[in-house]
Every structure is written in C-alpha cells, then in structure tokens.
Chain A
Amino acid sequence: MTITGTVARISGAVVSARGLAGARMYDVVRVGNERLVGEIVVLDRDVATIQVYEDTEGIAPGEPVTTTGMPLAVELGPGLLGTIYDGIQRPLEVIRDEIGDFILRGVHAPGLRRDRGWDFTPIARRGDRVEPGDLLGTVVETEVHEHRVMVPPGIRGRIEEIASEGRYTVEEVVATVRDDARLHRVRMLQYWPVRQPRPVRMRLEPTDPLISGQRVVDTFFPLVKGGTAALPGPFGAGKTVVQHQLAKYVNADIIVYVGCGERGNEMADVLRQFPALVDPTTGKSLMDRTVLIGNTSNMPVAAREASVYTGITIAEYYRDMGYDVALMADSTSRWAEAMREISGRLEEMPGEQGYPAYLASRLADFYERAGRMTVLGSAGRTGSVTVIGSVSPPGGDFSEPVTQNTLRVVKVLWALDADLAHERHFPAINWLTSYSSYAGTVRGWWAERAAPMWEEYRAEMMGVLQAESELLETVQLVGEDVLPEEDRLVLVQARLIRDGFLIQSAFHPVDTYCTAEKQYLMLELLVRFYRQAREAVAAGVSAAAVGGLAVKTRLERMPFVPNETFPDEYASIKEEIAEAFAGLTAGRSAYGVTMRG
C-alpha cells in the first residue's frame, strides 16, 4: 500500500516530492533518510507538497518519501492523563529518556505506552448488542478518573467476546464485536484523525457555569461548560497566567492544556506545579486530570499547527466518556502564524496580513468542536468541551485578523489591557470592553446556591464601574472637585471594587482561588457599603469621609481572607459597615487617620 517518491524541493518546513501518484490528501508520509514525519497538504498530479513536523535541515533532493496510507491521528486510550506531548503526540518524557535533554529529529515514540498494563473491568456482556459509544468496560486511569472504554465510532453489532476482569495492555483485544459481515477486534488503543471532529448524537445548550475561582471571570464575565472564550491581549498582559489559573481551578473533570508556540519555561512551570497542587473539586493531584501538549515556539512550526488539533481530539475523546473537559490553547495566534508560514511556503494567495484565506474557517471549525453534547452510545451520556483560546495580537491591536475572526465565533471575550497590566491590576481583564453571552445562562445556577441577588448586585457594581469611566473623562479635563458629591462617591466605590474585588493575585496563597460563595459574599458587602454610602451622602456626608472609613480598608483586604473563614469576616464587616455609617450620619467622624500631620 505504501508509495515511494523522491524529494524535489525543500523550503523550511515545506517539502515537495514527486512520484507520489496515488497518495491521498492529508496522508502522513515519512520524509528523507531519517524518515521525518510529514503530512500531505497539496496534491498536484504526482507531486505532493508536504508539511514536515520536524526540522528539515540537511534533507536533500533525491531522498526518499514514503506514504503511510494513514491520516495524522492521535492514539486514544488510558495513559493520556498526566502526560506531556509535543504537537503530534510524541511523549516528551519518553523521548527525553531515550535521547536526552534536547529534541533531535527522527525520534519516534508512540503516544501511549505499549508495555504498561491497565486493570480492566468489563461492563458489557457477551451477546449484548452495542453501538458506537457504548461502554465495554472501565479502567482506573488515575486516582480521579475512571477511563471508559467505548465501542469506537463506526462499529456496531453483537459482542462475541469480552475480556474478563484483569490486566491488559492497550494493544490487547478486550472485546470482539460481530456485525453482519465482519468481526471487529476492539482494543483499548484507538485512533482518531485529528482534523476530523469526533461524532456526537446531539448538540445541547450549555447550562452550568465553569467556575474558575477567579472573581472577574465568574462574577462578571462567566463561562459555561461547553462554551467558548477568547483571551486576547498584548505581551505581558496576563494571558498565560489566566490560562494557568483556569487549568488549575475550573470545575471540569479533565483539562487539556495546549502550549502552542509559547515558552518552554511555561510548560516546565506547569509540570513543576501541577503534580503538587490539589484539585479543589476532587482533592487529588491536578496532574491526574490533565493532559499537556507542549509545542513551544522553538519546536517545529508544522507540529505547532497540528498541536491544537491533537489537543481538541483528546478533549473530545474524554467528552465522549461523559466528562466535562476544558481545553486551553495558549496561543491560538501562534497556530494561525504557523498556518501563515506554511501557506507562504506553499505560495498560496495571501489574504489579510498574509494569513491564508481559510484562516477564518479554520478558526471557526476549531471552536465549533466545543460544546455540550449528548455523546454517542445508547446510555445517552452528556459531556462537554469548553475551549479558551489566548490570542496574541501584534502590537496589542485587536483589529487584526486572528482576534477579529475569533471574536466572530466565541461567546465570551476577556479583553486584556496593557494599561491595567502596567499598573499591576491583575487579572488585567478590561471590564468595559469584555463581555459574556452566558450571564443569563448561569443566573439560575447562582440563584440556586444561596446567591439570589447575584444578577442584581452584579449589574449594580458594573453600573458603578461604567459610571466611573464616564466621570473620569470629565475629571481628566477639569479635575475632581467640580463633581457633585454623589459622583465623587462613584469614584470612591469604583476604586473599592477594583482594589477589593477585581484585582486578584494569582500568586497569593489565599487569593489565588476564591470560591463562588466567597465571591458572592464579597459582592454583597460591596453593594451594602455602596447603598449605605449613597444614603449617607444624600444626607450630607462627603464622599471623602466615606472614603476615609476604616472599614473600607477591611473591604480592600477581603481578598486575603481565607475562603473557609470568610463567612465570619463577612458577618463582622457587615456589622462594622452598619456602625461606621451610623457614626457618620450621626455627625461624628469615624475617620481615624489624620492626613495633614
């Protein structure tokens, strides 16, 4: 079945080969004497143009090119969790054991280990009629997760044999399924071509929020399980930190983190931190629920292009088991640039800013693979894939093609802002330009969880922030002292919301994760303070006096109070607010600090 041709031309990651009549588009080929991995991306009679996933230095015309007859696919099965792969699913730790600390080309290692045994417990029984997605059995993949071994898409029929409880490698047959004509041997190891979405039964509307413990996200710009979000921002604005925070803390079952064309040290950081960190939902090591794809900026650019597909295919696979999966792609711009680089070498007609004309459709197709679904299988399980993509616009200018085409398809925008980042207001999510289309979706979830006024409070505080931005324009021109007291109070309150709520340090041991309960209580106190303050100001108290209240400092320090003890702090602050305003309006100043001294 294999066809062999010869290299005709090499230009960076792109190689053309002739003599490949009969090869198929998107087939994987082996290029050159070192048998580098490549994929056919253009066919013109017997000439194939190939993007090569490894460094092509040293390849010369005349060297052989052989087809494999298979599209680029990932290996699916137990052993994915806790592993770090490159963009075409080569396990980096295995490669390191084999060839050392630097990645050389021409090394091949399968995505899943062949020598490891997994304890399989059968679910299906002999004689059962099964369809794609039905469970054959389970494997304990990590302490947290039951790996569900499914009948692969395309296979249905009657179970002829099923493995009994015991230990099997991924290559051993665990079930045989007979359809009318054929006998299918099903192993734990299954393949799926990365560029093709895995089939589902039905797309569902998202319902539940994906809680991240990040206040500005959960409270102001919520994301949902099965939703999509874009995270654009200039360099240093905090995209990666937000992505890491989400990977650590969101209440999803499985995390797929794709480091696409970014820094090696950021992957090292995840590898260092995650094993030691505890998943707030399960109490187990975070690494147990995480698959990492790390194709850093200095690794081959074609493999970078493939990395997001490798990631999302793995995400879909766990979704099909009925899990909620969240995928972080940092950064989708590097993926788009890889497309551009390859397209340039292919001498395709360039579109906007040199990107290929198919940029928009590739982005849309990728985000389309997110969603909450009824997955295959007679049990009618639901699962979801949530996708959060960083975008790195050149010069921080959001009008560029990748940002714009992404915003056309995603439902949440967390717009990171250089000015906020420079002032060290982190997360630097600009509250005026960001949005979420899911606020209505998650309202019910909050209301059911002792946060009945969530929507109203949220709107009230957002109103203050918006009013502030308008007032600041005036202040810039004429100063603050012309403003009426109630407007000056808006400025005081907005500062308080920023300092006491929006700013959240990812590096502070307490502040890094804020439970939904604490978020709501904090919000409630901010609203309470504001309502009382407005009354006081209406009664003639100055905004400055409100701003000088000692309890305001306590509100600003709320982020550092542990989640567990916050209810007590809440009660105590609530009391102090009442006392402070009683004091103010009674004409006695509760303002403890004198400034002039």
Chain B
Amino acid sequence: MSSDRKQQGRGREYRSVTRVTGPLIAVSGVEGAAYGEVVEVTVPSGERRTGRVLESREDTAIVQVFGGTEAVDTVRTSVRFTGETMKIGVTEALLGRILDGTGEPIDGGPLLIPDAMRDISGNPINPSARDFPRDSIETGISAIDGMNTLVRGQKLPIFSGSGLPHARLAAQIARQARVRGEAESFSVVFAAMGITYEEADFFIRNFRETGALEQAVVFVNRADDPVIERLITPQVALTVAEYLAFDLGYHVLVILTDMTNYCEALREVAAAREEVPGRRGYPGYMYTDLAGIYERAGRIKGREGSITQIPILTIPNDDITHPVPDLTGYITEGQIVFSRDLHRKGIYPPIDLLPSLSRLMQGGIGEGRTREDHAAVKDQLYAAYARGRRLRNLVAVVGEESLGDIDRLYLVFADRFEREFLRQAENERRSFEETLDAAWRLLSMLPESELVRIEPSLIERYYPRRTEG
C-alpha cells in the first residue's frame, strides 16, 4: 500500500538533533519524514532507542523517543528514519510468553517467528461489522454476575484506588470466567504499564500456578521502565489480541493495568510539546486517544473470537471525576467501582454497586441466557439496596428510632446484602443460579408488596415461602 514511500525513505540517517524537551527531540534537515514513522535513535554511548514521528514539517521532525531522552545530545546522537510505521510481529506462539512493554521477549524463551506484521495502531472496526455482544460470562462473582453481568466482547474497567484488591479481582476473573455451556476458558492478554515488580509478579505467578500462563501473553512495562514506552504497550497488546481473536478465533480477555500510568505518560508528552493543557494538565485529545484503545474490544460478525477488556485504573485521591476515570467511563461499557469503605469493613470484593454498571448486561441476561427473573431481581436488589444505603446515611444523623418498621427492614437488608451477597471468597465460584437464589433469599426479608420491580408471576415462582424453612 505504501511501499513506494518506504523504499524512498529507507535508511535516511541524520545527526541533526536540534532540541530535546522531555521525551521529545526535534531533528532538522529531515526530508519527508512520514507522520507516525518509526525512527531509531542512537545515543553517543551506542545505545539504540526507538522513536516515532509526532509531527512532521518540511525540514523538521518532532520525534517521541520511547526509551526516554536521557543521554541524547545535539552533536553526536544519530537518528535513522526507517520508512516504516510501528508494527509488531504476531504469531500463535506468543501464547505462554512474557514480553516487555514494546513486545520484546524477556523470558529467555525461543526466538519468535512472526506469522504476520501488524500495525500497532490498528484500524477501527467498521460499526456495521460489529456483532452486538450478548454472550454473558459467568465470572462466579455475584456482584458482577448478578448485578453487572459481563458479556463477551465488552470493555468493563475496574475503578480502583491505591491499596485496594483490584489485582486479586482481575486475577479471579481471569481464572474463573467461563461462558455458560462452554468448557473453554479465555486466553489472556495481560498488559502492565508502570506497575510495581510485586504487582506484575503477582499476576505472572497467578497465571503460572493456575496453568493459565500457557494461554496468556504477558506484556510488562514496570514502574522503573521508560515512561514513554508505556504509550505503546496497550496498542502492542491489543494488536496481538486482535490477531488471536479475529484471525485465530480465540476468546481473549485483555487486562490492562494501570491505565492511570498510561495517561500520565500521555500528559508528559503533551507538556513537552507545550500543548494547551486540558483538565488537570491532561491533553484535550485524551478521550480520542483512550477510545483508540478501549474500542478495540468487541466481536465481529462471522468471526469466531472476541476481545473482552478489563482495564484497571487507580483513581487519584479516590476522585471519580478525575479525568482518567471520567474519560474512561465515557468510553467503556460500564465500570466496576471499588469502595474503600467496604474494603475497610473487610468485604471482598469491595465493589460499590451503586456507581458500578454494566451497559451490556441487558442483552446478555434473561430466559435462555441466564434466568428469566434476572433483570427484575437485579432491579429490585438495586432499588432495595439503594434505599437501605440512603437510610444508613440518614440514621447516622438522626438515629434509628426515627425510622418506621419498613425502613428498618431496608437498613438490615443493606447490611445483609453486603455480607451475604456481595462478599465472597477469592476462590469461591458461584453459578448464575446460586447468585440468583442468594438474591431471592435476601429479598424474602421484604414483604411481597415491597417487590414492585418484579412481576407477580415471577414472585409466584421464585419468592421463597416461609413454609419451606
């Protein structure tokens, strides 16, 4: 497609770095650098780093250097323009491998021979080619399956905070997730950006112990790896995921952690370019940039595989209006929100159900998918739990004495709901039926007349009668 240009551009080398700011260098006297072109930067010590053209003018190219600009000088550093856009070699043999944030193996395994080279920015899925995701995934976790069902092809982030058990939950999902009626589990593409050694290790060990590593591709950019490198990690990981899903037919679960670190790298580049900053210094195009990552989840008509994404982000200062969770929430198909309060109460998973949401739940549940009462039960649980929570706040001010009988019931309901439904063990896997039955047991605390979100015929069928106990 663009081979003529590649030929003409191959191997142009310059020693004309004129300016270095943050992760960026300006190279002058360059002829015809293509926007997005990959360059190879060699610093005086001989070390080589990869970069990419961020802006191209007739005589100057602005290059973002992924390995960072440390030791780059304006005299001896050389920059070679490769005539290529960024690509990664893809092959099924990537399964079971551990790579760095740019896709280089770091596990000492055998040489990888790619089946194809793929552009890491990918191309948008034609909206008319998308198959609307409807196969619900049983994660075995009631707070998700019962209240915010995940479906195959969805992007559902975990909004967490520092010190909260998001890694444990993500690992539990990766371990337990199954589509009903199918034995096959998910292949995992795991991309770590700027996370600590312990956290990266936690995942790798976890995958290894459960045997999931053989079905996983792990990309690790650690906290002490170059910051700018993490800008390409999700794209590299998703390019591999797309190959596995849409070429080879795998159902791929992509875990991206921690997107907050990714966004910080984005901010750093924007600052170096002296762009007009958007909210809290993040660039105005961050929405578009994140969409380029998250929208790579989905299903395609007539193709076997799927990409389900679970991005993880730690919210700075637990402020959900912070641009990282805010823009993420505007793109993803819901969110699982963690609560420090629940965590303090010792409830795992500490999911705050009120702000949590799965937008694709509706199409994945109900008769023939999970169970006919699922939607109504979920609505009723939400209504009841929200009421209990509101009363809990009220009682904190005015005391319980001021409540009527029904209100007191709701207060108890909220507590029991958290302890008996929400809380579960890290190795506990509940089926959809078990989750829904647990829901009915709780709902039976309330008189039937309170269950106005559930149609009488369903109450008739599922409401546990006292006589049974």
Contacts and interface: CB of A to CB of B under 8 A. Distances in A.
Interface of A: 8-12, 33-34, 55-62, 84, 92-93, 95-96, 100-104, 234-236, 259, 261, 263-265, 267-269, 271-272, 294, 296-299, 301, 334, 337, 340-341, 344, 350, 353-354, 392, 394-397, 418, 421-424, 475-481, 499, 505, 507-508, 544, 550, 553, 556-557, 560, 592-593, 595-596
Contact of B33 (A33, A60, A395): A60
Contacts of A101: 125-126, 129, 246, 300-301, 303
A423 B382 CA distance: 7
9 contacts: A10-B34, A12-B285, A58-B36, A60-B34, A92-B127, A267-B127, A294-B128, A395-B322, A423-B390
A59 B402 contact: no
Given A62-B32, A354-B276, A264 B382 contact: no
A61 B53 CA distance: 12
B37 A58 contact: yes
A268 B360 CA distance: 12
B9 interface: yes
B35 A84 contact: no
A340 B284 contact: yes
Nearest to B323: A394
A58 B35 contact: yes
B210 interface: no
Given A10-B56, A556-B452, A477 B300 contact: no
A264 B130 contact: yes
Nearest to B375: A507
B359 interface: yes
Nearest to B53: A10
Contact of B402 (A34, A344, A480): A480
Given A59-B34, A96-B129, A396-B321, 14 more contacts: A55-B123, A60-B56, A61-B58, A236-B355, A263-B295, A264-B295, A271-B128, A298-B288, A353-B278, A423-B387, A478-B402, A553-B449, A560-B455, A593-B449
A265 B130 contact: yes
B232 to A, nearest CB: 14
B386 A235 contact: no
Contacts of B456: 557
Interface stretch (B176-184, B186-194, B324-332): B324-332
Nearest to A395: B321
A341 B34 contact: no
B201 interface: no
Contact of A344 (B34, B284, B321, B323): B284
B335 interface: yes
Given A61-B58, A263-B331, A550-B449, A337 B284 contact: yes
A63 to B, nearest CB: 8
B291 interface: yes
Contacts of B292: 298
Contacts of B284: 337, 340-341, 344, 354
Given A56-B35, A104-B123, A297-B288, A595 B405 contact: yes
A267 B402 contact: no
Contact of B132 (A55, A269, A475): A269
A58 B452 CA distance: 59
B111 interface: no
B354 A422 contact: yes
B276 A423 contact: no
Given A57-B121, A344-B284, A593-B447, A236 B335 contact: yes
Nearest to A294: B127
A301 B455 CA distance: 45
A84 B128 contact: yes
Given A60-B5, A264-B130, A478 B279 contact: no
The interface centre, meaning the residue of A60, A421, A592 with most chain B CB atoms within 10 A of its CB, is A60
Given A61-B56, A101-B125, A103-B124, A297 B33 contact: no
A299 B121 CA distance: 12
A57 B126 contact: no
Nearest to B279: A394
A418 B357 CA distance: 12
B394 A476 contact: yes
B397 to A, nearest CB: 7
A475 B394 contact: yes
Nearest to B121: A57
Interface in B127-186: 127-133, 153
A526 to B, nearest CB: 14
Given A93-B128, A341-B288, A394 B326 contact: yes
A58 B126 contact: no
B354 A423 contact: yes
Interface in B248-307: 275-279, 284-285, 287-288, 291-292, 295-296, 298, 300-301, 303
B128 A544 contact: no
Contacts of A481: 401-402
B55 A395 contact: no
The interface centre, meaning the residue of A56, A422, A550 with most chain B CB atoms within 10 A of its CB, is A422
B448 to A, nearest CB: 8
B394 A479 contact: yes
B130 A102 contact: no
Contacts of A12: 35, 285
B126 A424 contact: no
A61 B291 contact: no
B2 A58 contact: yes
B229 interface: no
Given A93-B128, A236-B334, A58 B5 contact: yes
B31 interface: yes
B124 A102 contact: yes
Contacts of A422: 354-355, 386
Contacts of A508: 375
B379 interface: yes
B402 A479 contact: yes
A187 B382 CA distance: 57
Contacts of B128: 84, 92-93, 96, 267-268, 271, 294
B381 to A, nearest CB: 9
The interface centre, meaning the residue of B32, B129, B354 with most chain A CB atoms within 10 A of its CB, is B129
Contacts of A596: 405
A592 B132 CA distance: 46
B57 interface: yes
B333 interface: yes
Contact of B331 (A297, A350, A507): A297
Contacts of B448: 593
B74 interface: no
Given A61-B57, A296-B295, A102 B35 contact: no
Contacts of B1: 34
Contact of A33 (B2, B122, B360, B452): B2
